[in-house]
Amino acid sequence: MGPSHELKVLGALGYTSFEPRNVETILSTRFEGEGIFTQDGAAWKHSRELLRRPFQKTHYQDLKGFSQPLEDLTADIATPGGVVDLQPLFFRFTLATTTALIFGQPVTTDINVRKSFASNFDYASLISALRTRLVDFYWVYNPSEYKAACKHVKAYADSFIERALGESNRKSEAIEDRYGFVEDLYENLEDKVLVRNQLVNVLLAGRDTTACLLSWTLFLLVRHRSVLKSLQAEIQTVMKNKQELTRQLIQKMPYLRCILNETLRLYPPIPINVRFARRATILPCGGGPDGQSPFLVRRGQGVGIPSYYLHRRKDLYGEDAEQFRPERWEGTELADIGYGYLPFHGGHRLCLGKDFALTEASCAIVRILQEFPNIRIPPEALVLPTGDEKQELTVFLRPAEGCKVLV
């Protein structure tokens, strides 16, 4: 049918397009909203500068900030024995690293409190995604459980804000480093609700996207034994007898980066995004009998960008676009892919957490393959063509049946 379509959702006219020229046009326009991902103009620039600080923290640049969460992750994997579902463990891992990054400390070690927060956060994300699909009628679906879950998440974030602002009065260097992110936000925004909104924006993106990336990566590796063996050989060559993983060592693992790129291509954590026109806008192609003419998007109309399908276009990625082949990222085969590859958005709105997420995922994969060299697919697990497995979509895309492995 082609990469651009007109459709009606509950009577509202809109479009989808996974044509790179249209995508580039959309992502270079301006937005409005109350969080870093939907803000416009000066407010967006201001938020972006404020949010840049935590991703530049020294102890994350040298990877020390990942040490304890990685220890906890490998311990969790080793505990059950036999078949392990890695997916919930990855969500626990990324929750710890992201809360430590933005709140100054990881989520509480109390397992009941941790599970309560995680379940409320997951439920609030799911219902928010469903409400989004109702477009202007989102208000019709507002279950009491959803309101309670949102209240729980907001209270959790508020508790960190209060603690950070309370302890900041002591003005020690350790406290300033620990809570600097929250302090910076409050000093500039002077509104605890706006601070909380920014924190929850980052928490949602930082936790779920990387957990989904890790789940799909291990899901694919245990089903593609030759790729797994090649990666293990690269890790062994680079690490040798070194116990401490560093950023410099990760940069010496190009095949690992190819695997992450290929996983993000086939399973982008956010498989579709939607933008609404603030004013009448012309997109460069998709109209006319041949689909090559410009077309009009009127004010208020939405355009969906399904990166899931964009990343599987055979004219961009070859006849084997549906297959998992990390080697396609070696050499110059995809050097000019541009807006044909969007796992971290694009243009001047490129995700601030891109380096953090890729480094975090790289650390986790290396440690898992070091600690569990015999990791493999369980005998009863299905091996289906890529894309035919069951998938679950909330705001993010993850394996519907988890990521089960034998360790």
**CATH number of 21's domain:** 3.30.43
- Same domain, yes or no: 79 and 42: yes
Q: Of 342, 363, 396, which residue sits at a domain end?
A: 342
Residues in the chain: 407
| Average pLDDT, integer, range 375-390 | 93
- Same domain, yes or no: 182 and 80: yes
Q: How far is CA 293 from the centre of its chain?
A: 34
- Same domain, yes or no: 287 and 225: no
- Same domain, yes or no: 192 and 113: yes
309-349 pLDDT, tens digit each: 999 999 999 999 999 999 999 999 999 999 999 998 877 66
- Same domain, yes or no: 161 and 147: yes
- Same domain, yes or no: 95 and 163: yes
Q: Of 293, 320, 342, which residue sits at a domain end?
A: 342
- Same domain, yes or no: 145 and 99: yes
The pLDDT of residue 325:
97
- Same domain, yes or no: 280 and 222: no
Domain of 211 in residue numbering reads as: 31-269+343-406
The pLDDT of residue 57:
63
| Mean pLDDT computed over every residue of the chain | 85
Q: How many distinct structural domains can be found in the chain?
A: 2
pTM: 0.87
pLDDT tier, 130 (very low <50, low <70, confident <90, very high otherwise):
confident
Give the span between the Cα atoms of 298 and 26, in whole angstroms: 13
| Average pLDDT, integer, range 1-22 | 88
**Dihedral angle at the C-alpha atoms of 366, 372, 373, 374, nearest 10 degrees?**
-140
The pLDDT of residue 197:
84
- Same domain, yes or no: 175 and 289: no
- Same domain, yes or no: 145 and 287: no
Question: How many Å from the N-terminal Cα to the C-terminal Cα in the chain?
Answer: 44
Determine contact, residues 295/287, Cβ cutoff 8 Å.
yes
pLDDT tier, 144 (very low <50, low <70, confident <90, very high otherwise):
very high
- Same domain, yes or no: 56 and 191: yes
CATH of the domain at 362: 1.10.630.10
244-280 pLDDT, tens digit each: 899 999 999 999 999 999 999 999 999 988 888 888 9
- Same domain, yes or no: 207 and 120: yes
